[in-house]
Amino acid sequence: MPTLGDVYRKFGETAEAAQLLETQLGNLLLEHDCIEADLLVSPDPDKATAIYDRINRKTLGQLIRSLGSVVDSVANLEQILGDALAARNRLIHSFYLRHNLRRNSDDGREVMLRDLATLHSSLLEAYKAVLLLSGVDLDQIVTEKGEDAQPSGYLPIRT
């Protein structure tokens, strides 16, 4: 029987997928804007900070719309990204409202876990599709290195 802890754990995993998607979209926009501003050749910390701060203020929907203006192949991802946006918004804004007292029964928690699995799948599919735009094939990495493969070469992001 699923516990409330199982529901909370899956909610956290699903929220993580949403944040990974948001971060990767921001990374693509950051890369594009820094190249456009010639910051790789002529570093300007103030300009770089301004670009980062502008991107960091965007919502997931705004990030998705902004990506369309900088990446030609995003048109192929409209449905996936739209589904992910809807999944993220439902997760954050109405998941517990919709499920309300289901948390108090085994059957209700099963329903909640199935819903979370669906939301997680949608977000993870979008995340993997956006990673592909950067040349990262997450499925290939898992195939080659296993489920516990860890990315390397990433720098911490200022929060």
Encode pLDDT of 78-117 as tens digits.
999 999 999 999 999 999 999 999 999 999 999 999 999 9
Q: How confident is the model at residue 157 (pLDDT cuts 50, 70, 90)?
A: low
In the chain, at which residue ranges do the beta strands (DSSP E only) sit? none
Look at residue 158 and tell me whether its pLDDT is greater than 70.
Answer: no
State the CB neighbour count (10 A cutoff) for residue 120.
Answer: 20
Look at residue 144 and tell me whether its pLDDT is greater than 90.
Answer: no
Q: What is the H or E stretch that residue 13 is in?
A: helix 4-36
CA dist 46 and 147 (Å) reads 40
CA dist 123 and 17 (Å) reads 6
Look at residue 44 and tell me whether its pLDDT is greater than 70.
Answer: yes
Give 123 or 75, the one with higher predicted confidence: 123
Q: How far is CA 144 from CA 124, 134, 140, 141, in A?
A: 19, 19, 6, 5
Give residues with Cβ within 8 angstroms of 35, minimum separation 6: none
Average pLDDT over residues 122-137: 93
pLDDT for the residue 87? 98
Exposed, middle or buried by CB within 10 Å (0-12, 13-18, 19+), for 29? buried
Look at residue 3 and tell me whether its pLDDT is greater than 70.
Answer: yes
pTM over the 0.85 mark: yes
